[in-house]
Amino acid sequence: MQLCYHSNQFGKDVMAFQPQLKILISRDEIAKAVAKLASEIRSDYQGKQPLLIGVLKGSFMFMADLIRHLDLPLEIDFIRLSSYGAARESSGKVRVVQGVKTPVKGRDVLVIEDIVDTGITISFLLDYLKKKQPASLKLCALTDKPSRRRIPVSIDYRGFTVPNKFIVGYGLDCDQRFRNLPDIYVLED
Ligand code: IMP
Ligand code: MG
């Protein structure tokens, strides 16, 4: 199991350690992709009042940018799941740390994710939400890493397909770092 950079591994202060970041997707490319996703979502949800559920923490920046383009009477909520801890590999066990407060029954639900990797997290979440009987349930993922998939996932709105590398920035973290970067980078060992 690979671990992200933290003090235990290197015996250094986490903020002092400078890992190698290589740009993968620029802020301009992200902005264009977000606008394109939003225009598809806007036309598909005309006349509806969708409930957008962001998966914390990774989707917060994407969600914030996406909804600014959506001229719809939408609502937002967030769910927090855990499976990773400080590691880069999924433990395979997912649990709900903080559930959705908004009733899901009968709603047109659109899940907003930062990345679909093995698919374990999102399959768990889609099953969990399906049991709450939404009118419809779709998935919007900013990034997709299909080479790592272990459970098939159908992504309705996809921003980027990314290579089998660990990526950070624009909400995505490694051991809670780098979420604030405006671009997406590959974190190199
Ligand atoms: P999955 O269950 O393997 O699909 O993992 C999904 C979750 O793992 C995502 O929502 C992310 O929080 C995290 N994750 C997977 N791959 C990456 C990555 O390359 N960078 C940052 N987080 C990742
Ligand atoms: Mg996530």
pLDDT digits (tens, 9 = 90+) for 146-187: 999 999 999 999 999 999 999 999 999 999 999 999 999 999
**Distance in Å, CA 86 to ligand 2 centroid:** 13
* Band of residue 8 on the pLDDT scale cut at 50, 70, 90: very low
User: Ligand 1 center to residue 157 CA distance, Å?
Assistant: 17
d(CA 138, CA 150): 20
156 an active-site residue? no
Indicate the pTM of the whole model. Answer: 0.90
Numbers of helices and strands, H then E, in the chain: 4, 9
Cis peptide before 12 (omega within 30 of 0): no
pLDDT band of residue 21 (cuts 50, 70, 90) is very high
Query: Residue 42 and residue 2: Cα distance in Å, rounded?
Result: 39
H or E stretch at 35: helix 27-44
The residue nearest atom 12 of ligand 1, judged by CA position, is 58
